[in-house]
Structures are given as C-alpha cells and as structure tokens.
Amino acid sequence: MASTQVFFAGNVQGVGFRYTVKQIAKGFDVTGWVTNLADGRVELRASGDPAELSAFIEAIGKSELRAHINQQTEMPVADQLSARGFEIRNE
C-alpha cells in the first residue's frame, strides 16, 4: 500500500476538476479525497497499490483535465489514509 499527495495548479477550480477526479477514481482501487485550496490549486491525497495509484494519477493527466493543468507536483507520503472510497472535500 502506498500513499501520494498531488497538487494541481492552473485553471483547476470552477471547471468541474474535483468531480471529474472523483469519477476517474471510480475506475481504480484507490481511496482518498480531492479538495480546492485557497491559493487556487487543487490538492489530491490517495492510497492504494503502487501500480494502481500510479495508473490513477496517469489517467487524470490523460483525461480532459490535462487542458486545465499547468503544473502537477506529486510526492509520496508516509501515512496511509483511513478513508473508504474517494470523496470531494470542501475545506
């Protein structure tokens, strides 16, 4: 099991980004969440099998969302998410 944190920058808020990420997550065995940040970025946290997690992040980049992403920063995180499923957070 692996966990990752990804920050997406660009025109990523107000365009259905979080909803689309949640829809993409349904096709993968991952858990986690996605949320808007005050600085205009979107943050994603996800856990799953390393190969599944990598495929999920790759699928986001290959989706229609790629037109909105100017920068993507991904980093592994040590703590595993205890969340079940994948959700949109409104923080």
pLDDT in tens, 26-43: 999 999 999 999 999 999
pLDDT value of residue 10: 97
Q: Round to whole Å and give the CA distance between 84 and 27.
A: 15
* Topology classification of domain 2-76: Alpha-Beta Plaits (3.30.70)
Residue 90: band (very low, low, confident or very high) from pLDDT cuts 50, 70, 90: confident
DSSP-assigned beta bridge partners for residue 46: 4, 32
Q: Which residue numbers are catalytic?
A: 18, 36
Q: Residue 44 burial (CB < 10 Å; 0-12/13-18/19+)? A: buried
Q: Give me the pLDDT at residue 82, please.
A: 67
pTM of the model: 0.92
Neighbours of 25 (CB within 10 A): 23
